[in-house]
Structure 1
């Protein structure tokens, strides 16, 4: 049996799109709402709302809502890094740290997501490892599908719970 490191995981997907298109999909309200979220709101350090096409900056706060869930399923936290081209880092559920890198590898554009679970409780780490791992796998495939001109794979029906695409 494999001995897991429950404190981190990495998910990778090649996407036939430019680095700029992938970066904008992660760092703008309009981009995130096209493949990931029902609503994405960003505010600057000073509390000023960013426009839907404006890229996030370090120190920005976010509020995210998902399709298939009511407004009680909300994530609010902070952008830690955003370099304007190929790196985004933010605090996510459970104070996990998510880093998104966009790179060229083997002639392909690759989107790589690493989530770190900094908590000391292994049971809590396992929960985020498994649950977030499932979620990120779906959403990274949906990002690929949307940017390559495909279908939106998300469940948008709040009355249809416990499905793999929500």
Structure 2
């Protein structure tokens, strides 16, 4: 495999839910907390905190906290794009951009996630590529589960560690 093939990955999932509901699951703090995060804190460009149902916009910054991890495990980043309909992008681990696109294919709504700009040095390439893609696979499956049937698959217990659901 050529080295630059490790610089990004693309994941897709079909979700049987209205497009606006799927988009809001990514683009509101409360939406993210239903399937992805324990706590999603967003601030606008002026530094004002956003409420759980306030749409996230380009330039907003975030702090994300996961179930199963203490508050010392936090991801901080910036929203790169948010068009209010079918495109949402943000910086993620190591400031790599993650882009969410939604579109119809074969009569179904597809959610596509692309994480790009992954490091290619020997020390982090595999760890980052494999670690991030593994996490996103679970969370995309959980998004589908929550939106289609209401079942949240996340581990919410701090005393359970090294499980695929956190």
Q: Name the TM-score, length of structure 1 as normaliser.
A: 0.95
Aligned to 2:70: 70
Unaligned residue ranges in structure 1 (runs of 5+):
none
Q: For residue 53 of structure 1, report the CA deviation from its aligned partner.
A: 0.4
Aligned positions of 1:107-126 closer than 5 A: 107-126=107-126
Q: For residue 3 of structure 1, report the CA deviation from its aligned partner.
A: 5.1
The Cα offsets for residues 54-110 of structure 1, whole Å up to 9 and x where unpaired, read as: 111110000100001111110011001000100011000111110000110111001
The Cα offsets for residues 92-134 of structure 1, whole Å up to 9 and x where unpaired, read as: 0111110000110111001110001343424422211100101
Q: Does 1:149 align with 2:149?
A: yes
Aligned to 1:134: 134
CA distance in structure 2 between the partners assigned to 1:163 and 1:122 by the alignment: 26
Contact 1:37 1:64 in 2 (8 A): yes
Aligned to 1:44: 44
Unaligned residue ranges in structure 2 (runs of 5+):
none
Aligned residues: 165
Equivalent position SS for 2:6: coil
Contact 1:117 1:129 in 2 (8 A): no
CA distance in structure 2 between the partners assigned to 1:90 and 1:122 by the alignment: 25
Contact 1:10 1:113 in 2 (8 A): yes
